[in-house]
Amino acid sequence: MFGLLRVVVWVSAVGFILFAVYQAQRGEQWQPLMQNAFIVIAAVVVVEGLSSLFFGGSTGATPTASPR
């Protein structure tokens, strides 16, 4: 479920960026679109970071006892 949500959010961010480039080529307003893309990407990064911090991530940094 969350994997699908991540894909949808990243695709929408890429769509914002591509549409902003299209708008810039036509000489129209592109700054609000890039701001929206930045907000979407920042939200994904924050949510990913907080979820890995609180719910554990697959970083492989599992503490183990040192052999003696």
Q: What is the pLDDT of residues 13-48, one digit of tens each?
A: 788 888 888 888 999 888 888 888 888 888 888 888
- Side chain identity, residue 58: S
Predicted TM-score of the model (pTM): 0.58
58 pLDDT tier (thresholds 50, 70, 90):
low
**CA proximity to 14, closest of 31, 38, 32:** 38
> Do the beta carbons of residue 17 and residue 44 sit within 8 Å?
no
48 vs 55: CA distance, rounded Å: 10
CB 16 within 8 A of CB 24: no
Band of pLDDT at residue 61, cut at 50, 70 and 90: low
Torsion of CA 53, 56, 38, 22, to 10 degrees: 170
pLDDT for residue 31: 86
